[in-house]
């Protein structure tokens, strides 16, 4: 798999949380574009190219950074599979 966990950490420098910017919601560094906005755009089917057109202050790295930022919390929310019944 190309997106190894070590690679995800490289994107953390792209996300900032500052109470003076969007009420402290995580945003892409140097912008007022929230991580939530980028993730919602991706979830609704927008391509990275479309997102970059809609938000010209973003770089091609930023949508990947948003996904990498969200991945650990999504992983925490996944249900633990039940152990197989071995009777």
What confidence score (pLDDT) does residue 4 get?
Answer: 47
What confidence score (pLDDT) does residue 12 get?
Answer: 78
Please provide residue 28's backbone torsions phi and psi, each rounded to the nearest 5 degrees: -75, 130
Q: What is this structure's pTM?
A: 0.74
**Angle, vertex CA 57, rays to CA 7 and CA 63, nearest 5:** 30
Average of per-residue pLDDT across 65-73: 89
For helices 61-77 and 35-43, give the axis angle rounded to 10 degrees.
80
DSSP letters, 22-74, are GGG--EETTS--BHHHHHHHHHTT--HHHHHHH-TT--THHHHHHHHHHHHHH
**Which of the listed CATH numbers 3.50.50.100, 2.40.50.180, 3.10.20.440, 1.10.10.10 matches domain 5-74?**
1.10.10.10
pLDDT digits (tens, 9 = 90+) for 17-59: 999 999 999 999 999 999 999 999 999 999 999 999 999 999 9
Per-residue pLDDT band for 78 (boundaries 50, 70, 90) equals: low
What confidence score (pLDDT) does residue 71 get?
Answer: 86
Q: Pick the residue with more confidence: 43 or 84?
A: 43
- The C-alpha atoms of residue 65 and residue 39 are separated, in whole angstroms, by 10
Per-residue pLDDT band for 10 (boundaries 50, 70, 90) equals: confident
Domain residue ranges of the chain, discontinuous segments joined by +: 5-74
- Number of helices (H) and strands (E), helices first, in the chain? 4, 2
């Amino acid at each position: 798999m190309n997106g190894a966990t070590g690679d995800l950490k490289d994107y953390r420098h792209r996300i900032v949380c500052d109470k003076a910017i969007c009420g402290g919601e995580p945003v892409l560094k140097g912008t007022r574009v929230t991580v939530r906005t980028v993730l919602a755009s991706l979830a609704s089917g927008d391509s990275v190219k479309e997102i970059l057109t809609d938000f010209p202050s973003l770089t091609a790295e930023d949508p990947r950074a948003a996904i990498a930022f969200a991945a650990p919390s999504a992983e925490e929310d996944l249900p633990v599979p039940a152990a197989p019944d071995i009777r």
